[in-house]
Structures are given as structure tokens and as C-alpha cells.
Amino acid sequence: MLRDVMKGLVNLLRNNIPAPAGRTDPWIYPGWPRQGFKPPWISIVQIGSSEGARTIAKSVYSLVYQIDIWVSLKDRYTIGDETFAGSKLRDYLADKVLETIKNNKQFADNVLDTEIRNTGQDFDDLLDEHGILRKSITIEVRYWG
């Protein structure tokens, strides 16, 4: 069941957030970016879980995911008719993630609800050394399992 929720979340974002022009390789993944990754990149990592209410046959589980948007300062992408780069690209992609989740709170079988817990914390910890900007969004998914 955990795998189904992660797969559903990855597919939800892949199907609703268009790839930047010229980008043909997958760029939304479960797990942290691999060494040598090419930004922009959206990573989804489960960072917590708990079991809530129970019935005879099932329990309600709560899964917490961190969704990170990674972009390079030097990359420029055209989305629609507009060109995005740096923090503008990061913020645009974060807004698309939030919009997609808000509009699809029951994105997979047995998912009861999805709550956005953190709407986007900016991290510039990789900026000086690697020229990478990151924004982190935290969501909680409740499902029957």
C-alpha cells in the first residue's frame, strides 16, 4: 500500500506538471536527487508515518512526504510563452505542485485526504557551492490500509 501511495503521488505530479520545454527525460522522482542530476528536479521522500483509527479490517494511516523542487541558477526554461530561471522557476514549479495537490486530494485508491502542512520553505544551502536553489513542501496523506 505504501508503494501505491508513492507511485500515485509521483504519477499525479508527472501527469499535471508539464516538463519545461526541451526536457524529455523524467524529472519527477521518488527519493533524493542522484549524483549528477540535471535540474530542474522534483523529489518526493516519505519522512514520517503513523497509524490512527482502526476498524476490524483496516486502519487509517498518516504518511508525511517532503517534496523538494531543485533548480539551477544558470538554467532557463520556457513554459508556455514565458521564460523562467532561478528562483522564479523554483517558485513557479512549487506553485504548480501546490495547485496539483490542492485539486487532487484523493489522488490514489484508499486515499482519504491530503493536507498541505508547509507551503514552501526556501533553502539556499547549495547555492554558493553548486548554484542550486531548493524549495521544500511538506504534505500529509491519510489513507485506509
> Domain residue spans in the chain?
2-144
Report phi then psi at 92, rounded to 5: -60, -50
Q: Residue 100 — pLDDT band, cuts 50, 70, 90? A: very high
What is the rounded CA–CA span in Å between residue 46 and residue 49?
8
Record the pTM.
Answer: 0.89
Confidence of residue 68 (pLDDT cuts 50, 70, 90): very high
Select 2-144's CATH number: 3.20.20.120, 3.30.70.1700, 3.30.420.10, 2.40.360.20.
3.30.70.1700
Nearest to 103 by CA among 91, 88, 116, 117: 116
pLDDT of residue 129: 75
CA dihedral angle for residue 29, residue 34, residue 40, residue 46, rounded to 10 degrees: 40
